[in-house]
């Protein structure tokens, strides 16, 4: 037998695959993995179709279809007052996950330390480890999951090379505030620390709150890889198209890796999205669209024994279930799926030490009927 010296000895299969497969197997309503169960816009589908018919069927440029990069640049300047040069500072990726992997691989060397905040989306730590980096995790706690910047400061040393942020945050649905930005700026000032900012839910922010992305703040922008996605805002997670923005010297390193990882991504999808982005309503109307779903789902959950945690952004709603059981969240998630027919994500999987605050995550990017059916089942729990 050939022996394998695993690069990720502790890794199993990602929770999203596990829970979606289980939901399909037992016929549960799938509120686990985050994706809509309604169609993306017919207009966008038409634009992508037309692109295929118009010959966008061969390789796109390595860094992405230029008109799409130009639209992204315009949107970023309009929303955040930051200019990214489409030629040298924006690269189209095969979704947010590839952008995150690429940024980490591009700048993290063996023994470099990377600070992450847990619960953390599950692709950060493996990418750091594959690069030979060292994960320094700081645990956040419910109900508000706020970052204790005094503790971050203590974690920072000469080996710290990157801090990974995620706002709006998956799975906790919290967002960074200006105080967080100020604290972060003070910590990284005069240090060689990159920021990788996962902002794939940037347009899913509610109650009139502001998205405090890194692009807005020059002192942070100069050291940041900002990662965004089209799957979330345009209800098309299966197309796997996103992008990364970074100052030219950082983007140059990013592209060295990107070109040998995927080279480029779907040209027809890029061309379709470039057209679709021209209408700003397509992303500016999202808070209203998702607020309705959030409020509808939260209202339904009020009739159950689950306790709602706040939801400021993303399309996830987390709950505590202490009134129901003291089971481990991973056991309870399996039982909810199998016995009650609603698949959810146990939040302990996003902690490297499997810290269990008895919190579950639901995705509410679903048809009203799906949410109704789920609530009907959850009332019985």
Query: Looking at beta carbons only, is 34 or 313 nearer to ligand GLN?
Result: 34
Query: Looking at beta carbons only, is 236 or 251 nearer to ligand GLN?
Result: 236
**Contact pattern from residue 13 through residue 32 relative to ligand GLN, giving x for each residue in contact according to CB under 6 A and a dash for the rest:** ---x----------------
- State the nearest-atom distance from the C-beta of 20 to ligand GLN, in Å: 8
Q: CA-CA distance, 114 to 138, in Å (whole number)? A: 11
Q: Return the number of other C-beta atoms located less than 10 Å from residue 150's C-beta.
A: 9
Q: CA-CA distance, 296 to 101, in Å (whole number)? A: 35
Query: Looking at beta carbons only, is 51 or 314 nearer to ligand GLN?
Result: 314
Q: Is 34 in the site for ligand GLN (CB under 6 A)?
A: yes
Q: Return the number of other C-beta atoms located less than 10 Å from residue 341's C-beta.
A: 18
Which ranges constitute the DSSP H helices of the chain? 15-26, 42-53, 66-80, 95-107, 124-130, 149-155, 178-188, 218-221, 248-261, 267-276, 281-284, 286-301, 329-335, 368-378
- State the nearest-atom distance from the C-beta of 269 to ligand GLN, in Å: 18
Closest to 311 in 3D by CA, of 336, 292, 284, 283:
292
Q: Is 270 in the site for ligand GLN (CB under 6 A)?
A: no
Determine contact, residues 348/356, Cβ cutoff 8 Å. Answer: yes
Q: Return the number of other C-beta atoms located less than 10 Å from residue 353's C-beta.
A: 9
Query: Looking at beta carbons only, is 33 or 167 nearer to ligand GLN?
Result: 33
When binding is defined by CB under 6 A, the residue of 40, 105, 160, 170 that contacts ligand GLN is 170
Q: Is 197 in the site for ligand GLN (CB under 6 A)?
A: no
Query: Looking at beta carbons only, is 16 or 340 nearer to ligand GLN?
Result: 16
Judged by CB under 6 A, how many residues of this single chain contact ligand GLN? Answer: 4
- State the nearest-atom distance from the C-beta of 16 to ligand GLN, in Å: 3
Query: Looking at beta carbons only, is 34 or 272 nearer to ligand GLN?
Result: 34
- Scored b (16 or more CB within 10 A) or e, 55-92 reads ebeeebeebbbbbbbebbbbebeebbebebebebbbbb
Q: Return the number of other C-beta atoms located less than 10 Å from residue 298's C-beta.
A: 15
- State the nearest-atom distance from the C-beta of 258 to ligand GLN, in Å: 19
Q: Show contacts with ligand GLN in window 206-235 (CB under 6 A).
A: none
The residue with tokens 């010297």 is: 249
- State the nearest-atom distance from the C-beta of 170 to ligand GLN, in Å: 5
- State the nearest-atom distance from the C-beta of 146 to ligand GLN, in Å: 21
- State the nearest-atom distance from the C-beta of 333 to ligand GLN, in Å: 13
Query: Looking at beta carbons only, is 25 or 46 nearer to ligand GLN?
Result: 25
Cis peptide before 368 (omega within 30 of 0): no
One DSSP character per residue, 193-204 reads -EEEEE-TTTT-
Q: CA-CA distance, 118 to 140, in Å (whole number)? A: 6
- State the nearest-atom distance from the C-beta of 151 to ligand GLN, in Å: 25
Query: Looking at beta carbons only, is 24 or 186 nearer to ligand GLN?
Result: 24
Sequence-ordered list of residues with C-beta below 8 angstroms from that of 310, at least 6 positions apart, any chain: 143, 144, 173, 174
Q: Is 33 in the site for ligand GLN (CB under 6 A)?
A: yes
- State the nearest-atom distance from the C-beta of 327 to ligand GLN, in Å: 22
Query: Looking at beta carbons only, is 99 or 251 nearer to ligand GLN?
Result: 99
Query: Looking at beta carbons only, is 33 or 337 nearer to ligand GLN?
Result: 33
- State the nearest-atom distance from the C-beta of 120 to ligand GLN, in Å: 11
One DSSP character per residue, 300-347 reads HHTTSS-EEPP--BSSEEEEE-TTT--S-HHHHHHHIIIIISEE-EEG
**Contact pattern from residue 131 through residue 150 relative to ligand GLN, giving x for each residue in contact according to CB under 6 A and a dash for the rest:** --------------------
Q: Which residues bind ligand GLN (CB under 6 A)?
A: 16, 33-34, 170
């Amino acid at each position: 037998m050939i022996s394998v010296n695993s690069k990720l000895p502790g890794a199993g299969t990602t929770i999203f695959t596990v829970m979606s497969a289980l939901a399909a197997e037992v016929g549960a309503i799938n509120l686990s993995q985050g994706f809509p169960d309604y169609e993306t816009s017919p207009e966008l589908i038409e634009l992508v179709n037309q692109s295929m018919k118009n010959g966008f069927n061969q390789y796109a440029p390595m860094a992405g279809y230029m008109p799409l990069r130009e639209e992204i640049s315009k949107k970023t300047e309009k929303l955040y007052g930051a200019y990214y040069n489409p030629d040298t500072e924006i690269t189209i990726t095969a979704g947010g996950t590839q952008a995150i992997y690429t940024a980490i691989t591009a700048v993290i060397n063996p023994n470099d330390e990377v600070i992450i905040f847990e619960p953390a989306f599950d692709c950060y730590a493996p990418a750091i480890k594959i690069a030979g980096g060292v994960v320094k995790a700081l645990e956040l706690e419910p109900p508000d999951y706020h970052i204790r910047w005094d503790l971050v400061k203590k974690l920072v040393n000469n080996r710290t090379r990157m801090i990974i942020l995620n706002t709006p945050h998956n799975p906790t649905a919290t967002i960074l505030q200006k105080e967080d930005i100020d604290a972060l700026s003070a910590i990284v000032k005069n240090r060689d620390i990159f920021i990788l900012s996962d902002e794939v839910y940037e347009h899913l922010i509610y109650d009139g709150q502001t998205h405090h992305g890194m692009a807005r703040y020059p002192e942070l922008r100069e050291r940041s890889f900002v990662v965004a996605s089209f799957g979330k805002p345009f209800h098309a997670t299966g197309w796997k198209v996103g992008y990364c923005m970074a100052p030219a010297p950082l983007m140059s390193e990013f592209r060295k890796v990107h070109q040998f990882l995927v080279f480029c991504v779907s040209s027809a999808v890029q061309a379709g999205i470039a057209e679709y982005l021209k209408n700003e309503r397509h992303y500016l109307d999202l808070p209203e669209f998702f607020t309705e779903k959030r409020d509808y789902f939260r209202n339904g959950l009020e009739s159950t024994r689950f306790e709602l945690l706040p939801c400021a952004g993303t399309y996830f709603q987390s709950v505590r279930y202490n009134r129901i059981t003291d089971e481990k969240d991973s056991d309870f998630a399996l039982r909810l799926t199998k016995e009650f027919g609603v698949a959810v994500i146990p939040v302990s999987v996003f902690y490297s030490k499997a810290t269990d605050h008895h919190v579950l995550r639901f995705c509410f990017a679903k048809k009203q009927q799906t949410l109704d059916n789920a609530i009907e089942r959850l009332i019985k729990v």
